Each structure stands twice: as structure tokens, then as C-alpha cells.
């Protein structure tokens, strides 16, 4: 397979709410196995961009092409197909509160992938094991710690065999003591070659797995480059102030 | 435009009735809300005895039909030497019944306030009473306002039961004309429109109150 | 002159027969209301402009007009006009069902809006269609949350069912009046009716409590059930 | 044989009421049974709210009203009446130990109860305005409730038909003070305007019944002439 | 003033819920200006201990003495007095949602300290300035960011002139980008000599301001000592595993 061939290509995505332009002509391209990280100040449009990519928010204009199939933004079946191929992890997990950890995974397998019950359960069990939660299968979200919830959410997304994973600040709703477990699961995915695009300010994630950082501000990607460049000392660009702050925070933490 | 004698008489009566209706509804609604707040608070935070009394009150007045309550107040209490005028009996019955329902909405709202609010006040040295009165209840009222508004709309429609205790309001006046002329369908349709107006008016006022009490972070989604 | 007690005892079987009628009207109307309310709530939240406008109009009329009036309009007016041969029982059930449907729609709408938006987004994110997300994720949650409010609605409809007599279905209240008119024991009869209603309400509320506990999920502290 | 549904106001003893066993009973009910048999039809008696009784007749929910209905001009515009079968007088009822006279009641600043919507209510109001009576009217939802409040002492007297007044005397500590000058009224059966055939048969049967000893026996049984 | 004299002394505090012992015979003593930090695994009893100190949770047994006044645990007025002298900052702020930032501070001054309105407003304004929020006085909690909320909560506690401040994980509900502002306010308090006891896992707070670390596990203080000792490399005690994890996390963050 040609690794340089793009698996996802979003071109000139724009979105506004009530006359306010939130995203203006943003383009992102991902090749297989690539990992991009979105950083930038709050309100910069990171979450909106991620949600536009799998059309949870329908862009006002722009083109989305996944594995050479262009997506019709107005055709529901197209959107459903897109979302099956693009998994998403949210900041606050969004597990289905009325279903157990296992059922959270099986329900999509049954309804969307049309697996039968036993097959779905088998698959779900495997995914839970992968994230180290085989023994929590029958617990409800309210009975899980934050870190465990996020790991179930990851398992749920992976069970759908997504081509790409979108992660929106996957660790920022977690207690400092719980972040570690989620980081290590994400690192594991990176090692296995999962294609990902994530918004995060977790320095350890940025430094260790990102192929490229996209710095977003006021709805535009104002800067992009390898972590070593953007976070490097000599960086004199627009994102400098922000990157310095990130570095500072990391220093304080140390 | 000349109205036929039937309609002239009808509208004169209905207009007189609607004044009586409003005179019944307004004090009952206000009284119901006040009793609801009191009873709801006692049922949530009160002592064991207070809670038992509050729960008993709510169970009786929510469990039995308003007609029965009015009947007992008006025709039953004289056996104990207590005489209510028709108007007083109607307002008392409406207020107590409405208060019971309101207390349920208030109770739900009180329970939905996160206990952090309680702790926050306690940690500052508020007494328990101060905490409930200044911190919890003002928030609960804003949460409960939709339910309370619903109950007031119910009250408007139930006010017609005042006829049981010889208090003649909108429905009563209409019925009198309707029985005289035996033209129920027309009369009731017009009564329905009167109520629709009353209810719409109440919704408008409730909306205003809601806006007036509005605070970022409450109610509006 | 018969004593109040003997009148009440004599009338009890007759009243209890009436409570069967009352109970079946209430159960049927509440179920019909549940179906109407569920569909309407979904339409009110997720529907397009026209749907929302029409449903709001329905809400406004059915919450604004007294049930007696609606009953008259439907039983003598609309059903008659279309030649629908509904019995009094069916007619009352339909009208009460449509009324409580409006109130239930409002309850469910509130519950849907109180769910975190993420629940729907997460379902969509997994590739579920909108109707799958609503059926599998949204409705199971909001129906649970709504049980306490639903029990309020139940106790209101239970008492509204007394209106059935307006079109000739003699339930508890009508029977109470019949006996009182014959015996002149009004007070005793009304109190008896009150007690019967009280127990009916109590039975219903308890059943709903049980249901609430049965479908309870860890982590929810639903109102009114500590 | 055809079927007839007779709508009755079951709160109007002794003409129509529900007996201890829960069956419709009363002077009108038994008379109607006889009439139906005579014209070769089956009859059932349907208790129905007075408010809706004429509408029910017009919309064919019932076929006839034999239930102490006074023949009035207004009603005659909507339905056809049979021949009058009973003359009813309007009387005042007061406490048994009361020393009030009719004149005291009308001119002594007394409180008088009436059933709302009845012809006596309308008549007293009009005459009072014309003749300057200073009584104060209280409106009740039924005559028995007015009697109840006479006993409670809230009102001094109640104006009502003589038959139910006699019925009340048998059951409560009240007495009839006397008539108060209102014209007598006549009861008749009501049928739909288009049912001329039925009306003819009913009239014939009714006329025949009134000539038989059964009629006097019925009057005896329900103590209408006491 | 004798700085070595203890300002707060809690002796043998025990607390159980439903037969489960949550705190067993815990004793803590604070001298004026001293800063103690509670660490330990989740569920260890840190929050419960803090809430026992100001009697938000009434201990089953034990003694609390503040400035040589013993507190009767069964006498409400005693408790109210205690709480006025001991300020508390919660993880999730617990601002009064129906009051503006300013009113959040004035209401306690008016109702508890019985100040008149103008005096209370003046004082509140000063406290808001201290935490850098003078311009947010009229905003409601829902309109403030997490960091701002926590700063209002701190201002509210300080307005009561507490002798001691209790802080329960004051930064753990905050986005990484918002933690900094709260840390710097807390550091400012430390510099001014405020007596504090706080539960936190924020390494920068522990390293920079703690006089002593108390390690809590299963309802007991199992270890205590200076940060340099407990977090030092050679530590071979029971808390070692946990402290290593904290250190690791800090390293990862760097
Ligand atoms: N549904 C919406 N309606 C109106 N405005 C919205 C909506 N969703 C987001 N916005 C606005 O879009 C802008 C970008 O929001 P977005 O959540 O994408 O930012 P972000 O970069 O993810 O910020 P954060 O780091 O706080 O998550 C914000 O100004 C926000 O207020
Ligand atoms: N109201 C309560 N009823 C019953 N058990 C409780 C209650 N409050 C706390 N607990 C239990 O007490 C134990 C200690 O809880 P606590 O909140 O003090 O721990 P913690 O050290 O603060 O943990 P964390 O780091 O998660 O905040 C836990 O096992 C908890 O389940
Ligand atoms: Mg975001
Ligand atoms: Mg804690």
C-alpha cells in the first residue's frame, strides 16, 4: 500500500454559527498511519474542526474525501458511512449512561454493523481486554472512574474498525492521577499505526507521538510543522506565545 | 353589529364570570406557590415530624379529587361549626390543592440542587436555616418554575369546579345560560375560547416572570 | 332514615364497579398519551420547522382548553361529523389520551433537552442513523428520567377521568352523585369517593415507584425517589 | 322489535335515580318501560349528565328523554315534546322547625337557594327585579345540595320542584313551606324533530297508560301525590 | 506571637459510613503559617478528613481545638463559629449559582458576619481585586471560566478572614490551560503566610509550598515528612509506589 497516499482529505472547510465565522477555509490531509495534533487557544475552533471532519457538524462549505470516495454533505447515507469509518473520542467520554461498558460497545455493532448478538459480544470483550477492562464489562458508566470511562470510549470507537480516529482533548476531563492510563492506551494505538488527529495540550502526547502540530486560532490553521520546530526554542512565529506557555506549564509540572 | 339576545346575555354573563374566575385564580395561584415552597422545603429538609406532616398533606390533596376537597370544605366543615363563604371555600380548596402539587415540583427542584451548594454555604459559617433560605430555595425556585407554571395552568382550568360550592365563575355562568337555552355546544366552545385566552395570558405572564428571574446557567437550555 | 354508614356500605360494590371503569379509562388513556407524547416530543426536539410549529399548536390547544370542552367538541362534534361510531368509553379514552399526550410531550421534551448533547453526538459518531440514535440511546434514557413526572400526570388524569360521565360513562364520581341524590348522604358519599381515589392514586404511584426502581441505573438520582 | 335508548338524569329522584342495586329506577323509568312494551320496542335507560342530554339526543347517542323534563319554548325549538304527563309545582323548602312564611322568604332579606340553570331560578330572578323582593339568590349545582345548605344554615330556604322536595322531606329534616306564585310546569318526553313516527306512537301509548290503574299505582309507589 | 504554638489541633478523628471505617484515629496539627499537603490514592479519605476538620462531616469521635478553644461537636453554634474561622475551597468551586461573583462574597459577609451592605460590597471588591477579577464582579458563575470560578471561591473564603484555609484538590477540575492562574493565587497566599492544609497532586504546588506531606491511605496517615524526603529518590517506605507514580507523571509532563 502506498503510505503517501492520503486516506482523508478535507479541503476548504468553512463553518459559521449565527453569522460568526468559526472555521474559515481549513484544509487537512492525513496519510495512513499519520498522527496530527491540534493545539491553540480555547475557542479557536479545534472541536468544531474535528466534528466537521466526521460531519457531526455539517460544514457550510468544503469537500471531504475519504479513501478516494467524496462525501455528499447533504446525503444522510453518505454521512452515516463516513462516520462508520471515522471513530471519535470526546473530552467527556459520552458513554451511553443507560448501558453497561459491554453494551456500550455491542449496541453500535448490532445496530450499525448488523452483527448478531453473540458475535458483537465476542468482539466487545476483545476490545475491552485490549484496553485492560475485561473485568469491568458489566459495570455502568457511573460506576467507572474517569480513566476507565475514557478507555471504554476508546474501545467502543475501535470496535467499529475505523480507518481514522478523532480525539478531542481525551485527557483534559481527567484527574491528574488518572491521565496516565489513557495516555498509555493512546500511545499503544500510535505504535500499532492508527491514523489519528487529536486536539490536546498534553505535552507528553505532543512530544512523543505527533508527526505534525497544527496551531489553530480564530478558525484558521495559522501554523503547522513538526513538534521539534514549533515547540523548539528558536520559534519566532505567531504561535510562539502559546507554545511558550505550554512549555512553561510542562516545566512547572516537572 | 347587533348580537342576538342569546349572545348578548351570554357575553354579559361570561364577562361577569371571567372576573370571578380571575378573582379565584390569582390568590389561589399565589397562595399555592407560597404553600408549595413552604411544604416542599419542609418535606425535603424538615424534621422527621415535619416531613411526615408535609408528606401526609401532599398525599391527601394529590390523592383525592378537588371536587371532594371542595365539598368537604364547604358542606362538611359546618358539621364542626366551621362556616366558609363560597368564595373563601373555593379559594381555600384551590390553594391547598395547588400547594400540594407545587410542593412536589419544589421538592424535585430542591433535590436537584447539587449538595456542593449546601456545603459551600455551610463552610462559610451559614446556619442551616440561612443556607436553605438564602442559597438553596432561590435556586430551586428557578428550577421549578416550569413545573409550577404548568400547575398554574391546570389551576386555571380547574377553577370551574368552584360551581360545586355555589361560586359562579366563567363555566358556571356559561352553564346557566346553556341550560336555559339548551345550547351547550356553542356555549362550551365559547367558554373554551375564553379559557384559551386566559391560559395564553397566564403563559405570557409566566414567561415574563421567568425572564425576570432569569440568571445565566438556569433553566434555558 | 338510613344511617350514613349503612348507605356507604350498601353503595360500596356499586362504586367499586365504577372504579374498574375509571381504572381502565386511565390505563388506556395514559398508554395512548405515552405513544402520542413520545412521538410528539421527538418531533418537537428533532423535527423541522413545520413539524415543530404544528406540534406547538397542538400543545397550545390541548393544554389551553378545558378537557370538558374538548370532550364536547370531539364526542358531539368531530367524531359525529366524521361518522365515527365511538362508544362513550372509547371517546373519553381518546380525548383524555390526546390531552395527557400533550402534557407528556412537554415532560419528555424537557427530559430530552436535559440529556447531555454528547449522547446523541456519540451515537452519530458511531455511525448510527438519527432514528437509531433516538430509539436506542435517547428514548431509553428519557423515559426513565420521566417516571416521577409521569406519576404526577397519572394522578391528574385519574381525577380528570371523572369527566367521562359528561358523555354518559358513569365512573366513580357520577355513581357517588347518584347515590347521594337518592339518599341525601352527600358528605359521607363524597368522602368515600375521596378514599377510593386516594387508594387508586396510591396503587398507581406505588406501581410506578416499583417500575422506577426496576429500571434504575447506577448513577442517577432521579427526583422524588431518594 | 326496535331498540330505544332513554337518557335519564339519575340525580332526579323520584322521577329517575339509581337504586340500591345499581339499576336505573324511578317513576319515569317504569313509565317508559310500560310505554316501550306497548309500542313493541326494547328500551334501555342511560344515565347521562343533564348538561349534555339534549345534545346527546340530537347526535343520536340516545333516542328519547323521559326524565322529568319541563316543556319550555327554548327546548321546543330543538326537540319535539310528547303530551304533558305531569304537572309540577314550584315550592319553597325550609328547615323543619322553621317558622318562616313565603312572604318572609321573599321580602325578609332572606338567602334562597336554587339549582342553577333551572326555570325557577330564572323566574325568581326576573320577578324579584320586577316586584322588588329583597331576597338573595344562591346558585347550586343540584337541588339536593341546596337542601344540604338549608340544613347547614347558610341559606334560609330553597326553591325547587315539589316532587323532589317531597322526596327530600322523607330523608332530611326539612319541610315544604308552600308555593310562591310561579306558574306550574309540565313534564313531557323529548324526541328528535325528525322522529315524528316515534312521537306518535309514544303519545298514543302514554295516553293509554295514563288511563290505566297502573298509572295511579305508579303515582302511589313514588309518593308523588303525598 | 509564638509561631510554634498550634493554631489548629485535631486529635484522633474517626469517621465511618455504614460500618465502613473511612477515617481511623487521624491526628493533624497546624502551627501558624504552616502548609500541609495531603496526598494518596483515590478513596483514601483525604476529602473526608478535610470536611471533618471544619465539621461539614461530623466526626464520630475525636477532638478539634482551634486557637485553644475546644469545639463541642454536638453544639451547632460552636460549629458555625468553627466554620467562620476555617475557610474551605472545593474541587468544583461550589459558587452559589444564582448570585454574581460579587454577591457570592457579600452574602456571607452580610448574613454571617452581619456587615451592612456597603461595607460588605467594599470588602468584596477588594478581595476580587486581590485575585485579579475586579472587572468580573457582575458576572454569574455560569459566565466565568473554571479558573475564574476557583479564584472567586478563594476570594469568597478569604473575605471571611479565616485563620486557616482548607483546599480540596483546588486545580483538578480545571483544564490544563487554566490551572496556572489558580496555582499562582495559591502561591501568593503561601507567600503572605496563610496557614493551609490542602489535598492536591499538583507536583508544582507540592514541591514549592508544602512544609510537610501527609500520605493517606485507607483512612490513615501512613507516612509524613518533608517533600524532599518523601518524593526523594531513595524513599523505601509504604508510600513509595505512589510517590514514584507522581514523579513519573511529572516526568512525562516534562
Ligand atoms: N453550537 C454552537 N453555536 C454557536 N457557537 C458555537 C457552537 N459551537 C461552538 N461555537 C463557537 O465556536 C467557537 C469555537 O469553538 P470550539 O469548541 O471549536 O473551540 P475549541 O478550540 O475546541 O476550544 P476549547 O479549547 O475551549 O475546546 C467558539 O467561539 C464557540 O463559542
Ligand atoms: N457520604 C458518604 N457515604 C458513604 N461513603 C462515603 C461518603 N463519602 C465518602 N465515602 C467513602 O469514603 C471513602 C473516602 O472518600 P474520600 O472522598 O474522603 O476520598 P479521597 O481520598 O478524597 O479520594 P479522591 O482522591 O477520589 O477525592 C471512599 O471510599 C468513599 O466511597
Ligand atoms: Mg474544544
Ligand atoms: Mg477527594
Q: What residues of chain E, 149 to 188, have a C-beta less than 8 Å from chain A?
A: 169, 172, 175-177, 179-180, 183
The average confidence (pLDDT) of chain A is: 88
Q: pLDDT class for A245, splitting at 50, 70, 90?
A: low
Higher pLDDT, C221 or B136: B136
Cβ of C168 within 8 Å of Cβ of D47? The answer is yes
Residue whose Cα lies nearest atom 4 of ligand 1: it is A17
Q: What fold characterizes domain B5-213?
A: MetI-like fold (1.10.3720)
Going from the C-alpha of E119 to that of each of B125, E100, E122, E134, the distances in angstroms are: 19, 17, 5, 16
Strand partners, D70: D187
Q: What's the pLDDT band for C85 if we cut at 50, 70, 90?
A: confident
Query: What is the SS3 assignment for chain C?
Result: CCCHHHHHHHHHHHHHHHHHHHHHHHHHHHHHHHHHHHHHHHHHHHCCHHHHHHHHHHHHHHHHCCHHHHHHHHHHHHHHHCCCCCCHHHHHHHHHHHHHHHHHHHHHHHHHHHCCCHHHHHHHHCCCCHHHHHHHHHHHHHHHHCHHHHHHHHHHHHHHHHHHHHHCCCCHHHHHHHHHHHHCCHHHHHHHHHHHHHHHHHHHHHHHHHHHHHCCCCCCCCCCCC
The CATH number assigned to the domain with range A6-93+164-253 reads: 3.40.50.300
Q: pLDDT value at position A248?
A: 59
SS3 assignment, position D159: strand
Distance (Å) of CA E77 to CA C136, C194, E48, E57, E64: 53, 47, 22, 15, 15
Ligand 1 within 6 A of CB of A196: no
Q: From A91, which residue of chain E is nearest by alpha-carbon distance? A: E175
User: What pLDDT was estimated at residue C86?
Assistant: 87
Fold entry, domain C4-215: MetI-like fold (1.10.3720)
**Subunit contact A96:C123, Cβ cutoff 8 A:** yes
**Closest atom, ligand 2, to C-alpha of E49:** 18
Residues with CB under 5 A from ligand 3 (ion): A 47
Give the model's pLDDT for residue E252: 45
Listed in order, strand segments (DSSP E) in B51-152 are: none
- Do D31 and D66 contact (CB within 8 A), yes or no? yes
Give me the mean pLDDT over the C137-146 stretch.
91
In terms of Cα–Cα distance, which of E59, E40, E52, E49 is closest to E217? E40
Burial class (CB in 10 A: 0-12, 13-18, 19+), C17: middle
Write the DSSP symbol of residue D82: -
Q: Which residues of chain D have pLDDT under 70?
A: 1, 226
- Longest Cα–Cα distance in chain A: 57
pLDDT tens profile C44-59? 999 999 999 999 999 9
B140 confidence band (pLDDT: 50, 70, 90)? very high
Domain boundaries, chain C: 4-215
How much is the average pLDDT of B130-159? 91
- Nearest Cα of chain A lies from the Cα of C27 at a distance, in angstroms, of 27
Give ∠ CA E248-E202-E47 in degrees, rounded to 5.
Answer: 115
Whether A44 contacts chain E with CB within 8 A: no
Q: Which residue's alpha carbon is nearest to atom 24 within ligand 1?
A: A42
Residue E40 pLDDT grade (very low, low, confident, very high; cuts 50, 70, 90): confident
Q: Residue E234 has what pLDDT?
A: 64
Identify which of C225, C174, C105, C66 has the alpha carbon closest to the alpha carbon of residue B65.
C174
Closest-approach residue (CA) in chain E for A175: E172
Report the distance separating Cα D148 and Cα D173, nearest Å: 10
Let me know: does E120 contact E57? Beta carbons within 8 Å.
Answer: no
Q: Please, how many CA atoms are within 13 Å of residue B45, restricted to the half-sphere of its CB?
A: 18
The ligand that comes nearest to the alpha carbon of residue A24 is 1
pLDDT in tens, A211-220: 999 999 899 9
Q: Determine the distance in angstroms separating the CA of D121 from the nearest CA of chain B, rounded to an integer.
A: 9
Find which of B16, B78, B166 to mutate to test the D interface (most D CBs within 10 Å of its CB): B166
| C129–A80 C-beta distance less than 8 A | yes
Nearest C-alpha of chain B: how many angstroms from D100? 22
Are C171 and C165 a contacting pair, CB within 8 Å?
yes
For B176, the closest chain D residue by CA position comes to: D117
**Residue C69: band (very low, low, confident or very high) from pLDDT cuts 50, 70, 90:** confident
Quick: pLDDT tens for B112-125. Answer: 888 889 999 999 99
Q: How far is the CA of A220 from the centre of ligand 3 (A)?
A: 14
CA–centroid distance, residue A168 to ligand 3 (Å): 7
The residues with which A6 forms a beta bridge, in sequence order, are A31
Give the ligand at the shortest distance from the Cα of E45.
2
Mean pLDDT, residues A12-31 taken together:
93
Chain D contact residues (CB < 8 Å to B) = 50-52, 54-55, 74-75, 78, 113, 116-119, 121-122, 138-141, 145, 148-149, 152-154
Query: Which residue of chain C has the CA closest to D55?
Result: C76
Per-residue pLDDT tens for E138-187?
999 988 988 899 999 999 999 999 999 999 999 887 776 778 889 999 99
B174 contacts: CB under 8 Å, gap ≥ 6: B10, B13, B14, B17, B187, B188, B190, B191
**3+ Cβ–Cβ pairs closer than 8 Å linking C and A:** yes
- Cell for A107? 449496541
Does residue B139 contact residue B113 with C-beta atoms inside 8 Å?
yes
Cβ A106 under 6 angstroms from ligand 1 = no
CA atoms within 13 A on the CB side of B176: 27
Closest-CA distance, C164 to chain D, in angstroms, reads 10
- What is the Cα–Cα distance from A242 to A245, expressed in whole angstroms? 5
What local confidence, expressed as pLDDT, does residue A247 receive? Answer: 65
Instruction: Write the ipTM.
Output: 0.83
- For residue B113, the model assigns a pLDDT of 86
Chain A, residues 131-150, CB within 8 A of chain C, namely 139-143
Query: Ligand 2 — pocket residues by CB below 6 A?
Result: E 17, 22, 42-48
Q: What is the pLDDT of residues E229-248, one digit of tens each?
A: 887 766 666 666 677 666 66
Chain C CB contacts of D171 under 8 Å are: 1, 183-184
User: Tell me, what's the pLDDT at B111?
Assistant: 86
Is the Cβ pair C122, A111 closer than 8 Å? no
Per-residue confidence band for C166, with pLDDT thresholds at 50, 70 and 90: confident
Cα–chain center distance at A97: 21
Q: What is the SS3 assignment for A123?
A: helix
How many residue pairs bridge chain B and chain E with CB atoms within 8 Å of each other?
80
Average pLDDT over residues A49-73: 93
Residues in B touching C113 (Cβ below 8 Å)? 221
Instruction: Please report the pLDDT score of residue B219 as a whole number.
Output: 54
The three three-digit cell numbers of residue E178, written as one number: 487554566
Q: Of all helices (H) and strands (E), which one includes residue A194?
A: none
Beta bridge partners, E78, equal none
Given this model, what pLDDT does residue A1 score? 45
Minimal C-alpha gap between A92 and chain E (Å): 12
Please check the confidence at residue C28 and state whether its pLDDT lies above 80: yes
Q: Is the preceding omega at residue E189 within 30 degrees of 0, hence cis?
A: no
What is the percentage of chain E residues whose pLDDT exceeds 90?
Answer: 66
As a whole-number percent, the residues of chain B with pLDDT over 70 amount to 98
CB within 8 Å: C182 and D61? no
**Subunit contact A94:C220, Cβ cutoff 8 A:** no
In the 3-class helix/strand/coil scheme, how is chain E assigned residue by residue?
Answer: CCCCCEEEEEEEEEEEECCEEEEEEEEEEEECCCEEEEECCCCCCHHHHHHHHCCCCCCCEEEEEECCEECCCCCHHHHHHHHHHEEEECCCCCCCCCCCHHHHHHHHHHHCCCCCHHHHHHHHHHHHHHCCCHHHCCCCHHHCCHHHHHHHHHHHHHHCCCCEEEEECCCCCCCHHHHHHHHHHHHHHHHCCCEEEEECCCHHHHHHHCCEEEEEECCEEEEEECHHHHCCCCCCCCCHHHHHHHHHHHHHHC
- Give dist(CA D31, CA D33) in Å, integer: 5
Amino acid at each position: 500500500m502506498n503510505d503517501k497516499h492520503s486516506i482523508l482529505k478535507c479541503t476548504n472547510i468553512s463553518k459559521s454559527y449565527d453569522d460568526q465565522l468559526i472555521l474559515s477555509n481549513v484544509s487537512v490531509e492525513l496519510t495512513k498511519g499519520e498522527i496530527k495534533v491540534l493545539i491553540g487557544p480555547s475557542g479557536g475552533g479545534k472541536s468544531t474542526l474535528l466534528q466537521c471532519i466526521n460531519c457531526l457538524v455539517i460544514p457550510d462549505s468544503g469537500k471531504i474525501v475519504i479513501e478516494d470516495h467524496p462525501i455528499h454533505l447533504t446525503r444522510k447515507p453518505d454521512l452515516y458511512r463516513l462516520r462508520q469509518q471515522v471513530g471519535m473520542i470526546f473530552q467527556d467520554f459520552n458513554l451511553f449512561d443507560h448501558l453497561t461498558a459491554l453494551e456500550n460497545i455491542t449496541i453500535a455493532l448490532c445496530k450499525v454493523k448488523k452483527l448478531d448478538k453473540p458475535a458483537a459480544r465476542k468482539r466487545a470483550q476483545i476490545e475491552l481486554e485490549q484496553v485492560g477492562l475485561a473485568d469491568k464489562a458489566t459495570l455502568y458508566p457511573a460506576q467507572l472512574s474517569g480513566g476507565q470511562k475514557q478507555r471504554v470510549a476508546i474501545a467502543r470507537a475501535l470496535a467499529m474498525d475505523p480507518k481514522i480516529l478523532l480525539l478531542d482533548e481525551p485527557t483534559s476531563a481527567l484527574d491528574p492521577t488518572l491521565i496516565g492510563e489513557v495516555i498509555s492506551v493512546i500511545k499503544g494505538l500510535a505504535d500499532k499505526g492508527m491514523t489519528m488527529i487529536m486536539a490536546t495540550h498534553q505535552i507528553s502526547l505532543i512530544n512523543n507521538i505527533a508527526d505534525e502540530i497544527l496551531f489553530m486560532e480564530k478558525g484558521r490553521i495559522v501554523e503547522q510543522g513538526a513538534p521539534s520546530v514549533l515547540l523548539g526554542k528558536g520559534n519566532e512565529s505567531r504561535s510562539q506565545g502559546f507554545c511558550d506557555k505550554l512549555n512553561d506549564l510542562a516545566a512547572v509540572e516537572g | 353589529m347587533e348580537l342576538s339576545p342569546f349572545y348578548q346575555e351570554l357575553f354579559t354573563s361570561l364577562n361577569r364570570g371571567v372576573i370571578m374566575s380571575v378573582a379565584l385564580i390569582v390568590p389561589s395561584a399565589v397562595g399555592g406557590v407560597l404553600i408549595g415552597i413552604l411544604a416542599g422545603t419542609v418535606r425535603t429538609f424538615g424534621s422527621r415530624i415535619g416531613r411526615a406532616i408535609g408528606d401526609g398533606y401532599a398525599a391527601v390533596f394529590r390523592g383525592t379529587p378537588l371536587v371532594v376537597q371542595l365539598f368537604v370544605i364547604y358542606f362538611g366543615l359546618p358539621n364542626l361549626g366551621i362556616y366558609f363563604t363560597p368564595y373563601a371555600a373555593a379559594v381555600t380548596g384551590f390553594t391547598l390543592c395547588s400547594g400540594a402539587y407545587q410542593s412536589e415540583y419544589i421538592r424535585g427542584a430542591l433535590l436537584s440542587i447539587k449538595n456542593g451548594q449546601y456545603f459551600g454555604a455551610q463552610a462559610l459559617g451559614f446556619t442551616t436555616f440561612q443556607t436553605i433560605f438564602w442559597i438553596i430555595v432561590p435556586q430551586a425556585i428557578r428550577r421549578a418554575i416550569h413545573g409550577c407554571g404548568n400547575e398554574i395552568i391546570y389551576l386555571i382550568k380547574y377553577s370551574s369546579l368552584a360551581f360545586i360550592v355555589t361560586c359562579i365563575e366563567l363555566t358556571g355562568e356559561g352553564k346557566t345560560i346553556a341550560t336555559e337555552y339548551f345550547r351547550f355546544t356553542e356555549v362550551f366552545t365559547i367558554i373554551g375560547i375564553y379559557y384559551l385566552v386566559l391560559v395564553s395570558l397566564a403563559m405570557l405572564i409566566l414567561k415574563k416572570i421567568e425572564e425576570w428571574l432569569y440568571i445565566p446557567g438556569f433553566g434555558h437550555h | 332514615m338510613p344511617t350514613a354508614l349503612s348507605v356507604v356500605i350498601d353503595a360500596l360494590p356499586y362504586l367499586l364497579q365504577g372504579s374498574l371503569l375509571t381504572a381502565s379509562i386511565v390505563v388506556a388513556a395514559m398508554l395512548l398519551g405515552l405513544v402520542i407524547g413520545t412521538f410528539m416530543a421527538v418531533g418537537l426536539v428533532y423535527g423541522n420547522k413545520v413539524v415543530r410549529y404544528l406540534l406547538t399548536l397542538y400543545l397550545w390547544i390541548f393544554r389551553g382548553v378545558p378537557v370538558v370542552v374538548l370532550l364536547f367538541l370531539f364526542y358531539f362534534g368531530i367524531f359525529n361529523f366524521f361518522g365515527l361510531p365511538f362508544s362513550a368509553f372509547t371517546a373519553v379514552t381518546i380525548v383524555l389520551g390526546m390531552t395527557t399526550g400533550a402534557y407528556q410531550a412537554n415532560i419528555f421534551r424537557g427530559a430530552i433537552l436535559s440529556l447531555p448533547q454528547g449522547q446523541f453526538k456519540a451515537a452519530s459518531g458511531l455511525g448510527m442513523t438519527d432514528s437509531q440514535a433516538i430509539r436506542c440511546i435517547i428514548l431509553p434514557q428519557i423515559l426513565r428520567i420521566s417516571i416521577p413526572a409521569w406519576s404526577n400526570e397519572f394522578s391528574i388524569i385519574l381525577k380528570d377521568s371523572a369527566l367521562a360521565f359528561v358523555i354518559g360513562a358513569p365512573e366513580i364520581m357520577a355513581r357517588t352523585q347518584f347515590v347521594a341524590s337518592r339518599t341525601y348522604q352527600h358528605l359521607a358519599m363524597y368522602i368515600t369517593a375521596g378514599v377510593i381515589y386516594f387508594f387508586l392514586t396510591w396503587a398507581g404511584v406505588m406501581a410506578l415507584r416499583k417500575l422506577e426502581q426496576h429500571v434504575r441505573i447506577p448513577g442517577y438520582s432521579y427526583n422524588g425517589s431518594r | 322489535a326496535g331498540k330505544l335508548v332513554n337518557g335519564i338524569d339519575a340525580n332526579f329522584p323520584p322521577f329517575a335515580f339509581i337504586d340500591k342495586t345499581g339499576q336505573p329506577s324511578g317513576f319515569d323509568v317504569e313509565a317508559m318501560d310500560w310505554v316501550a312494551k306497548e309500542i313493541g320496542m326494547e328500551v334501555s335507560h342511560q344515565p347521562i349528565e343533564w348538561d349534555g342530554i339534549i345534545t346527546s339526543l340530537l347526535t343520536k347517542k340516545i333516542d328519547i328523554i323521559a326524565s322529568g323534563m319541563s316543556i319550555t319554548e327554548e327546548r321546543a325549538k330543538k326537540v319535539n315534546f310528547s303530551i304533558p304527563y305531569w304537572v309540577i309545582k314550584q315550592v319553597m323548602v325550609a328547615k323543619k322547625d322553621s317558622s318562616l312564611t313565603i312572604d318572609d322568604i321573599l321580602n325578609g332579606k332572606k338567602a334562597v337557594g336554587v339549582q342553577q340553570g333551572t326555570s325557577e331560578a330564572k323566574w325568581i330572578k326576573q320577578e324579584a327585579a320586577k316586584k322588588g323582593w329583597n331576597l338573595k339568590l344562591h346558585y347550586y349545582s343540584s337541588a339536593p345540595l341546596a337542601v344540604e345548605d338549608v340544613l347547614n344554615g347558610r341559606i334560609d330556604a330553597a326553591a325547587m320542584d315539589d316532587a323532589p322536595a317531597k322526596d327530600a322531606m322523607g330523608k332530611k329534616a326539612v319541610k315544604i313551606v308552600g308555593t310562591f306564585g310561579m306558574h306550574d310546569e309540565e313534564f313531557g318526553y323529548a324526541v328528535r324533530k325528525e322522529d315524528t313516527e316515534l312521537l306518535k306512537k309514544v303519545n298514543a301509548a302514554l295516553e293509554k297508560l295514563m288511563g290505566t290503574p297502573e298509572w295511579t299505582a305508579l303515582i302511589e309507589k313514588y309518593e308523588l301525590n303525598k
